[in-house]
Structure 1
Amino acid sequence: MNKYFNYLFSIKSALLLMFLFAIAIAIATFIENDYGTTTARALVFNSWWLELILIFLCSIFIYNIFEYRLFHINKLPVLFLHLSFIFIIIGAGITRYISNEGVMRIREGTLNNQFISTNLFLEYKIHNSISQYSGQKELILSSKSNNSFSIPMSFDNKNIKIQYVNFIHDPVEELVDSQEGGGEIIELIIPSESGGMQSEYILKNSQKYIKNLNVNYQSNLKTDLNIYQEDSLFYFDSKFDVHFMKMSDRSTGVLMNNSSHLLNNKVLYTIDSQNIVFKNYFQNAILKQVPANIKNDAAKLDLLKIILTVANQDTIIDLYGAEGVLSSKNYFQFNDLYFSLSYGPRVHTLPFGIFLKDFQLERYPGSESPSSFASEIQIMDGTENIDYRIFMNNVLNYKGYRFFQSSYDNDEKGTILSVNQDRLGTGVTYFGYFSLLCSVLSLLISRFSRISILGKQHKTV
């Protein structure tokens, strides 16, 4: 038994674990390139097995310090080498579980003292008008990982459970026609952000926002654009004047607002600056949401489907969220309880404020590509105001927070700063690097090191 224990905590085991760690990081690099950072975090960087490798590796180094009595002066180079790995691993653990990281947006001439986290959370709140229960769970979801989770709880003498159903990155609607149990759906065509055209589907007796235009189909609500059916023909009315152009002969005209008009195919309607074409009508169709692409980039909203069970009654809830985007809360009543659910980043409040005086962007001569950009800011901390300039290689360090120039708003009137609060983790990790430096230096100058011994032997010869 002692033989196996010694082998398990031997240098050979440490070398094997370091090799496995290097292989895992290499694989994660390819995953990140093909599927995005979130998928790499879910499958490798934040996985339990990678943490187990690091914990076991750290344990081996600690064990060998005492096993080989490395505190002796003639073993200092090896001691510093072991300590460097131990502190680097511990620092990484502190960064992983204790530190805060996120994004801070500031517009010119405004003050901000909040940033939103890089990590995403499922936040839930339940109340019954007398008391409430709240909680949150950090989630790292991707299109390639096992995302399942379950959150059981008890409130108001009722058993409640939130369970994972599905995760769709950058969801788009896909229509499936001629389905049993399907419903009536109309298809509208609008310009897409990429410059092409995209389909928008609206179920009968429902409404939908298309860009900034609220459109309903056969609903009792009065919205910006109301589409309804009489016999086999479709009609519409709008609170805006409607400009149209017939694609067959390019003829144009204007339709009066708040009046009923025939909705025709192959006619381009412009309603409050939004172009719309009525394309198709489906009598028995269903809509399902599918991912537009696999790669988890932070610019797209993701869909998290969960099932909420309250006292053996359940319902499906759709939550939308993404990194760097504050998600809206989903309020509803279910089984005599009131719920608030959201999926997205968490808001952190700073003990001081940052005022953006000016954002500056310079471009390469004769090009639209930015060569550099910087933020002229003022730290407002009580009665103390401190001016500072943040740019690519000039980081703001203040009260344990580090601010990096990350990006900027499209209109170049606002800055985007990366925020990191990790004083303890950074300090421990840097001490590990310092120990590694001491190990190298002691190898060079110590008279007990292998280099010194070989040098003496060479002189003797």
Structure 2
Amino acid sequence: MKKFLSKASGILLPLFNTRAAGLYLLLFAGAIGVATFIENDFGTSAAQKVVYKAWWFELLLILFSITIIVNIIKFRMVQQKKWPLLLFHSAIVIIIIGAGITRYFGFEGIMHIRENDSANSFISSNTFLKFKVNANDQTYDFNEPVLFASLGNNKWEESYLIGSDLINIRVKDFIPNPKKILSESIDGIPTLQLVIGGLNGREEYYLSMGETKRIGNVIYNFKDTPFPDAFNIAIRNESLVFTSSKVLTQTVMATQEKDTIYPSDTDSPLKLRALYT
């Protein structure tokens, strides 16, 4: 037993000495540096998949934390009352533990809270693969957490037992950064292109007749039937009109003419190439 422990300590101790700590620190700095370039060129999801949420990055932080704890004990920082060094090393461990709690038990997203308003929901940054299975007059809903990106492996496959049937679901292909393209068609429906100032600048969305879509914290409703607390758009006499429960400022981009529109049940003309705030 003693021989086994001595061999184990001989193998493990070099992984947790001061040299190892320096190596882990250099690897960590290099990893986040590479992740910065990946995020700039391929997007945040690619950086998370390749670096931040990769198993080896988590292992690196765990080894670094253990190394710091081992050195605190090895150099007897408590017994020798080396409080500044103890405080510095302990702070690093606490930060990594806090990051781990946030990683596995926290939630990340965006919450829109207007002035003098309240909110009890937020838009999650997590992505899910959503699909339904209809069997035996029943509908089964599935929301599987996934992380697809323009880099890395995007394969996903899972099996489900629905009644007595085993169903295999597999993602055939992933198209990064898709763009919607409008084309004229005899069977087409009226569609609006909405340009919105978002967190990342100009954002474009499409809203077709018959759709109700939430974009940010605003609900856009392109139907003849109004939707409560939404920006309701309809076609009346071959012209676009809208109603809203909010006070709006309308700015015509060509002339910079501004107008204030107050909440009303009466339809107001929706001007194309105009900014509504």
Q: TM-score, normalised by structure 2?
A: 0.60
Contact 2:112 2:217 in 1 (8 A): no
Q: Describe the shift of the 1:15–1:200 C-alpha distance in structure 2 as closer, same or farther (beyond 3 A).
A: same
**Distance of 2:89 and 2:28 partners within structure 1:** 17
Structure 2: which amino acid aligns with 1:21?
F
CA shift, 1:170, in A, is 3.3
Structure 1: which amino acid aligns with 2:191?
K
CA shift, 1:27, in A, is 0.8
Q: Describe the shift of the 1:76–1:110 C-alpha distance in structure 2 as closer, same or farther (beyond 3 A).
A: closer
In the alignment, structure 1 residue 80 sits paired with structure 2 residue 87: yes
In the alignment, structure 1 residue 43 sits paired with structure 2 residue 57: no
CA shift, 1:44, in A, is 1.3
- Please give the secondary structure, in 1, of the residue aligned with 2:24: helix
CA shift, 1:104, in A, is 3.2
Contact 1:200 1:210 in 2 (8 A): no
Contact 1:108 1:359 in 2 (8 A): no
- Please give the secondary structure, in 2, of the residue aligned with 1:137: strand
- Please give the secondary structure, in 2, of the residue aligned with 1:168: coil
2:125 to 102, 118, 122: 118
More helix by percentage: 2
- Please give the secondary structure, in 1, of the residue aligned with 2:183: strand
Aligned twin of 1:25: 32
Q: Describe the shift of the 1:108–1:17 C-alpha distance in structure 2 as closer, same or farther (beyond 3 A).
A: closer
Aligned twin of 2:276: 411
Structure 2, unaligned stretches of length 5 or more? 1-6, 194-199, 206-214, 219-245, 250-255, 257-274
- Computing the radius of gyration over CA atoms, which structure comes out larger, 1 or 2? 1
**Distance of 2:128 and 2:148 partners within structure 1:** 10
The within-5 A match list for 1:171-250 is 171-172=178-179, 200=183, 209=189, 211=191
1:13 to 20, 24, 28: 20
More strand by percentage: 1
In the alignment, structure 1 residue 170 sits paired with structure 2 residue 177: yes
1:140 to 132, 143, 147: 147
The within-5 A match list for 1:286-305 is 299=203
CA RMSD of superposed structures (Å): 4.0
- Please give the secondary structure, in 2, of the residue aligned with 1:74: coil
CA shift, 1:18, in A, is 0.8
**Distance of 1:140 and 1:207 partners within structure 2:** 36
Q: Describe the shift of the 1:101–1:299 C-alpha distance in structure 2 as closer, same or farther (beyond 3 A).
A: farther
- Please give the secondary structure, in 1, of the residue aligned with 2:69: helix
Aligned twin of 2:268: none
Q: Describe the shift of the 1:68–1:147 C-alpha distance in structure 2 as closer, same or farther (beyond 3 A).
A: same
1:95 to 89, 102, 106: 102
**Distance of 1:164 and 1:170 partners within structure 2:** 17
Deviations, residues 201-238 of structure 1 (Å, cap 9, x unaligned)? 87xxx95556259xxxxxxxxxxxxxxxxxxxxxxxxx
Q: Describe the shift of the 1:9–1:66 C-alpha distance in structure 2 as closer, same or farther (beyond 3 A).
A: same
- Please give the secondary structure, in 1, of the residue aligned with 2:128: strand
- Please give the secondary structure, in 1, of the residue aligned with 2:154: coil
CA shift, 1:139, in A, is 1.9
**Distance of 1:127 and 1:36 partners within structure 2:** 36
Q: Describe the shift of the 1:74–1:113 C-alpha distance in structure 2 as closer, same or farther (beyond 3 A).
A: closer
- Please give the secondary structure, in 1, of the residue aligned with 2:121: strand
**Distance of 1:91 and 1:359 partners within structure 2:** 43
Q: Describe the shift of the 1:139–1:150 C-alpha distance in structure 2 as closer, same or farther (beyond 3 A).
A: same
Moved more, 91-100 or 101-110: 101-110
Q: TM-score, normalised by structure 1?
A: 0.38
CA shift, 1:36, in A, is 1.8
Contact 1:103 1:117 in 2 (8 A): yes
Query: Sequence identity of aligned pairs in percent?
Result: 34
- Please give the secondary structure, in 2, of the residue aligned with 1:91: helix
Deviations, residues 103-152 of structure 1 (Å, cap 9, x unaligned)? 23467898643221012112345464677655433222111221112222
CA shift, 1:153, in A, is 2.3
**Distance of 2:146 and 2:15 partners within structure 1:** 34
Contact 1:39 1:145 in 2 (8 A): yes
**Distance of 1:43 and 1:96 partners within structure 2:** 16
Q: Describe the shift of the 1:199–1:129 C-alpha distance in structure 2 as closer, same or farther (beyond 3 A).
A: closer
**Distance of 2:88 and 2:36 partners within structure 1:** 27
Q: Describe the shift of the 1:46–1:172 C-alpha distance in structure 2 as closer, same or farther (beyond 3 A).
A: same
**Distance of 1:358 and 1:325 partners within structure 2:** 15
Q: Describe the shift of the 1:77–1:155 C-alpha distance in structure 2 as closer, same or farther (beyond 3 A).
A: same
In the alignment, structure 1 residue 55 sits paired with structure 2 residue 62: yes
In the alignment, structure 1 residue 69 sits paired with structure 2 residue 76: yes
Structure 2: which amino acid aligns with 1:81?
F
Contact 2:133 2:140 in 1 (8 A): yes
- Please give the secondary structure, in 1, of the residue aligned with 2:77: coil
- Please give the secondary structure, in 2, of the residue aligned with 1:165: coil
Contact 1:103 1:324 in 2 (8 A): no
Structure 1, unaligned stretches of length 5 or more? 174-197, 214-295, 302-322, 327-356, 361-367, 369-409, 413-461
Q: Describe the shift of the 1:62–1:35 C-alpha distance in structure 2 as closer, same or farther (beyond 3 A).
A: same
CA shift, 1:6, in A, is 1.3
Aligned twin of 1:224: none
**Distance of 1:92 and 1:37 partners within structure 2:** 18
